Amino acid sequence: MIKDRFEKKIKLLQKEIVGAFLNDDPDLILLEDEWERPGGGGGFSNILSNGKYIEKGGVNISMVHGELPEEMKERLHAKSATFYASGISLVIHPLNPFVPTVHFNIRYFELYESDQMVDSWFGGGMDMTPYYIFEEDPIHFHQVLKSVCDQFNGEFYPTFKPKCDEYFYNAHRDEHRGVGGIFYDYLKGRPEFHLAFTSAVGDAFLKAYMPIFQKRKDNTYDEHHKEWQEIRRGRYVEFNLIHDRGTLFGLKTNGRTESILMSLPPTVRWVYNHHPAAGSAEAQLLKALKPRDWASENINL
């Protein structure tokens, strides 16, 4: 069954990704937490903290099922419906302000009526949120994502990249959260093909992010850089709590609050009406957050 194979994949990915970060950051503390969802199913959270390079992170997998909440029934035009959902979700908040925060997830959903599956789809994506801009970093990140998309369909990256720019957008700030990546949802039909593609997106995570992490993690920084990082983390929190569909779905389907809010950074600040100085490195970041065709540029990491 597709869902069994996908569950096996996300379990392997969790071990691989957590192992890579532990190997790179031996001071990192790993908390392993297995949990059950009251409505059905459960998951396994791997929480990373207090490392030399990672301030806080999490690599979580979940396999949940049960009654579909009324709000979700309306959105999906379902009547008497139950659901199954599984996925892996990752957020890494590095200590060093010169290392970007990264978010990644892939997921699979099945919808049932009268115990018969009536619909199923894949979704996923990966995006990066820098605090200081080094143009070669988003170029590398996007080129890896374009490469994996192009292996399956030449239209995937030109479709999923703009969807990511559109999705990770703080409309109340008129500001994009980061430099984007790819985002897709409701990939229906051709389950074998979409399972292979979504698995390949999972395999691309370490290729896309780890070279950036390793290159920037020992950069020298000071309190000014940390203050800016925390201001920008505030924007990250605003997006996750106001706009993110995954957060809202989890909270409204009796999901595990600790796992859902794992994505929030450990230290954040809001400074009233803050604007960086003109011409500063901080101002340069804000200019770089506009949608841009990073994958077509030629700077190498």
pLDDT digits (tens, 9 = 90+) for 104-135: 999 999 999 888 888 999 999 999 999 999 99
> Is the domain covering 2-292 a CATH 3.90.226.10 domain?
no
Residue range 233-261: mean pLDDT, rounded:
80
Q: Tell me the average pLDDT across 178-182.
A: 96
Q: What residues are labeled active site?
A: 103
Sketch the domain layout of the chain as residue ranges: 2-292
Cα of 122 vs its chain's centroid, Å: 15
The mean pLDDT value for 48-55 works out to 96
* pLDDT > 70 fraction of the chain, expressed in percent and rounded: 96
pLDDT of 249 > 80? The answer is no
Residues 58-78, mean pLDDT to the nearest whole number: 82
Residue 48 token pair? 């990373």
Per residue in 135-162, pLDDT (tens digit) is: 999 999 999 999 999 999 999 999 999 9
23, pLDDT greater than 60: yes
* Model pLDDT for residues 262-300, shown as the tens digit of each residue: 788 889 999 999 999 999 999 999 999 999 999 998 765
pLDDT band at 254; cut points 50, 70, 90? low
pLDDT score, position 13: 98
pLDDT at 300: 56
Please tell me the predicted confidence (pLDDT) of residue 170.
86
Instruction: Give the model's pLDDT for residue 25.
Output: 94
3-state SS track over the chain: CHHHHHHHHHHHHHHHHHHHHHHHCCCCEEEEEEEECCCCEEEEEEEEECCCCEEEEEEEEEEEEEECCHHHHHHHCCCCCEEEEEEEEEEEEECCCCCCEEEEEEEEEEEEECCEEEEEEEEEEEEEECCCCCCHHHHHHHHHHHHHHHCCCCCHHHHHHHHHHHHCEECCCCEECCCEEEEEEEECCCHHHHHHHHHHHHHHHHHHHHHHHHHHCCCCCCHHHHHHHHHHHHHHHHHHHHCCHHHHHHHHCCCCHHHHHHHCCCCCCCCCCCCCCCCCHHHHHHHHCCCCCHHHCCCCC
Q: Which tens digits make up the pLDDT trace of 194-237?
A: 999 999 999 999 999 999 999 999 999 999 999 999 999 989 88
